[in-house]
Structure formats: structure tokens, C-alpha cells
Amino acid sequence: MKSTLVPGLEHEFRFCVTDAQTVPALFPEADEFQVMPTVFATGFMVGLFEWTCIQALKPHLDWPDEQTVGTHVDVSHVAATPNGFAVTVKVKLVEVDRRRLVFEIEAHDDVDLISRGRHERFVINKAAFDLKLKEKNTKAGN
């Protein structure tokens, strides 16, 4: 981690929702999802939050040797966003506790506030993380 990784960092990212990010696309094998509204899925919204946080952090890490993984998500999803709308995500790093990072998050579509909350990430060493995954796979017989 670089010395520039400090609370107060902010980043904004705008993304246009397509059919690929709607509820029916979340789990195509789930019949229940196939009959639900074609709106921005909460699962993809969380992914967009993670992507935005990674963009904010990347210049402040020894990328790609250092990366971050999501460890906690506490967000609302208060308005539906139709296909074709753009979603703007704003993140602010509010806490740095060694390798634990906490963000405040807010997202708007072209009309409404769609989400607000907090997201926690943890800085990892990619090689060490991959080694642990390999060991876990071996332990499971994979």
C-alpha cells in the first residue's frame, strides 16, 4: 500500500445499464428471475460498487501484486433503474485500519437516488491469496 491510501479519497464512475445487468440475467438458470422485472439487479449493483472502489484504490496500491477483496456490504436499493439508464456511483474512503478499508457509497440513476450505504474491502497480496485458494482446493480434493 502506498502512503497516498488515506481516508478522504473519492471516486466517481458512470455506467449504462444493459439487459446483461438486469434481474433476469443475474442467474439465467433461475426460472423465478426470468419472470421478474427487467431492471438493474441488486447483485449487479453491488458488483458495480466493488468495481468503483477498486478503481478508486488501484493508484494507491502496488497493483497487481496488491489487490482488494470485498468483505462486507451494507447498502439499500430504494429505486428501480430501467435498462438503458446510466448509474453514477460515488465512493469515499472513510476509514483505513491497516489493510481494512471502509467506503461510503451513493448511487443515482438519471432520475433517483437508488442506493446508499457502506462497503468494506481488505487489501490482499495476490500471490499469497492464490496460494491459500490452491491449498483449499487441494484440501477439498479438487
Distance in angstroms (rounded) separating the CA atoms of residues 49 and 54: 9
Catalytic positions, written as ranges: 42, 50, 77
Q: Which domains does the chain have, with CATH numbers?
A: 10-139 (3.10.129.10)
pLDDT score at 130: 97
Q: In what order do the strands lie in the sheet with 100-108?
A: 10-16, 86-97, 100-108, 113-125, 66-75
Full pLDDT tens readout for the chain, 142 residues? 999 999 999 999 999 999 999 999 999 999 999 999 999 999 999 999 999 999 999 999 999 999 999 999 999 999 999 999 999 999 999 999 999 999 999 999 999 999 999 999 999 999 999 999 999 999 999 8
- pTM, rounded to two decimals: 0.95
pLDDT score at 44: 98
Query: Residue 55: which H helix or E strand, with range?
Result: helix 42-57
The answer to whether the CB of 116 falls within 8 A of the CB of 106 is yes
Task: Report the length, in residues, of the chain.
Answer: 142
Distance in angstroms (rounded) separating the CA atoms of residues 85 and 67: 30
